[in-house]
């Protein structure tokens, strides 16, 4: 097991280097002048050259990459052009917020998706199944931001139960796990949970239906297990795949929430990316993408390891 883990970790090193290179290149080849956002329109060529030199944009790209990567390894992602603050600090704060939101959304999605999927799979082709299946298709196909806006209209404008935007009372401030703060998280989390809910519901439904059709369920009945006992077996059989799907969904949510975070002004990586793109803040953009990509790779690793430990049939070789 230890060897398996070590090998898996070693495998991720080249992946990470490749990912970093790709992040860098992607941003580097995108058109536009990186300094456009802070230079006054009438700035002299002299000033422009000076700033280019200061940020290192005048050196060849591979040199820029090497310096950037070497610093990134030490936790230094450079300075944001727009705000002048260290990119690492900005990204980490945003990552914290996004992680919170993504975990909450995945949790909601997993709980309800798992429940729907289970019921649908257990009572396949009944009306419960049809409703659950229709809901999950709807969940996957409805646009995120649209749903977010509808929820805001219903719960914030009409009912005035929940705040529409932000991540806490009074604009900024530290996050705390109390109702005053959590209520800000509910609407964006529910909005984001809809896709994983639909996907998990469909996965679990297929899994449960497939497991129940297997001969060993007859075997379990034949030895006298009640429905509850059989339920436990179904859960254990479905768990590895369901958890893997959940992990991947979490990964998608970590990076894929630009629209939702913008709709709800949630100060996460999505909002950060959004502003970095519009302000042409190259160091911030590169840093954010790199951190997100790293998360994705690590999460994939965790999912693989988890699945391997849960399912005895997967060989650890």
Give the C-alpha separation, 113 to 128, whole Å.
14
CB neighbour list of residue 308: distance below 8 Å, 6 or more residues apart: 4, 314, 316
Residue from 48, 229, 278, 316 that binds other proteins (CB under 8 A)?
229
Residue pair 164/264 in contact (Cβ under 8 Å)? The answer is yes
CB neighbour list of residue 36: distance below 8 Å, 6 or more residues apart: 280
Residue from 31, 75, 170, 312 that binds other proteins (CB under 8 A)?
312
State how far the alpha carbon of 39 is from the alpha carbons of 59, 82, 86, 210, 269, in Å.
19, 11, 19, 62, 25
> What is the size of the binding site for other proteins (CB under 8 A)?
19
Residue pair 304/5 in contact (Cβ under 8 Å)? The answer is no
Residue from 161, 216, 278, 316 that binds other proteins (CB under 8 A)?
216
Residue pair 205/133 in contact (Cβ under 8 Å)? The answer is yes
Residue from 150, 210, 218, 316 that binds other proteins (CB under 8 A)?
218
Q: Give yes or no for residue 304 binding other proteins (CB under 8 A).
A: no
Closer to other proteins at the Cβ: 168 or 240?
A: 240
Q: Give yes or no for residue 83 binding other proteins (CB under 8 A).
A: no
Place of tokens 């006298």: 224
Q: Give yes or no for residue 223 binding other proteins (CB under 8 A).
A: yes
Residue from 15, 225, 259, 277 that binds other proteins (CB under 8 A)?
225
Determine the interface stretch with other proteins among 63-71, 87-95, 141-149, 219-227 (rule: CB under 8 A): 219-227
Instruction: Sort 188 into a burial class: Cβ within 10 Å, 0-12 / 13-18 / 19+.
Output: buried
Residue from 16, 233, 248, 297 that binds other proteins (CB under 8 A)?
233
Q: Give yes or no for residue 1 binding other proteins (CB under 8 A).
A: no
Q: Give yes or no for residue 316 binding other proteins (CB under 8 A).
A: no
Residues at the contact surface with other proteins, assessed by CB under 8 A: 214-216, 218-226, 229, 233, 236-237, 311-313
């Amino acid at each position: 097991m230890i060897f398996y883990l070590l090998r898996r970790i070693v495998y991720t090193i080249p992946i990470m280097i490749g990912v970093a290179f790709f992040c860098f290149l992607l941003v580097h080849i995108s058109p536009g002048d990186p300094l456009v956002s802070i230079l006054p329109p009438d700035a002299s060529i002299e000033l422009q050259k000076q700033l280019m030199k200061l940020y290192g944009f005048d050196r060849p790209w591979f040199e820029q990459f090497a310096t950037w990567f070497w610093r990134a390894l030490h936790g230094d992602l450079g300075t944001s052009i727009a705000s002048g603050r260290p990119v690492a600090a900005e990204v980490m704060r945003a990552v914290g917020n996004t992680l919170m939101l993504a975990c909450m959304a995945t949790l909601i999605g997993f709980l309800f998706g798992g429940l729907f999927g289970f019921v649908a799979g257990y009572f396949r082709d009944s009306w419960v199944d049809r409703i659950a299946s229709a809901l999950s298709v709807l969940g996957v196909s409805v646009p995120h931001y649209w749903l977010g806006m509808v929820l805001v209209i219903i719960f914030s404008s009409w009912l005035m139960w929940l705040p529409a935007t932000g991540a806490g009372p009074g604009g900024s401030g530290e996050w705390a796990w109390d109702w005053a703060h959590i209520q800000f998280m509910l609407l964006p989390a529910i909005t984001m949970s809809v896709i994983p809910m639909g996907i998990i519901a469909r996965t679990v439904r297929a899994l449960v239906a497939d497991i129940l059709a297997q001969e060993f369920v007859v075997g379990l009945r034949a030895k006298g297990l009640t429905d509850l006992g059989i339920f436990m077996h179904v859960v254990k059989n479905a768990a590895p795949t369901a958890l893997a799907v959940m992990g991947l969904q979490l990964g998608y949510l970590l990076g894929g929430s630009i629209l939702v975070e913008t709709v709800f002004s949630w100060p996460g990586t999505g909002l950060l990316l959004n502003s970095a793109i519009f302000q042409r803040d190259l160091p911030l953009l590169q840093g954010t993408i790199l951190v997100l990509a790293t998360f994705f790779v690590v999460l994939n690793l965790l999912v693989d390891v988890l699945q391997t430990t849960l399912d005895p049939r997967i060989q650890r070789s």
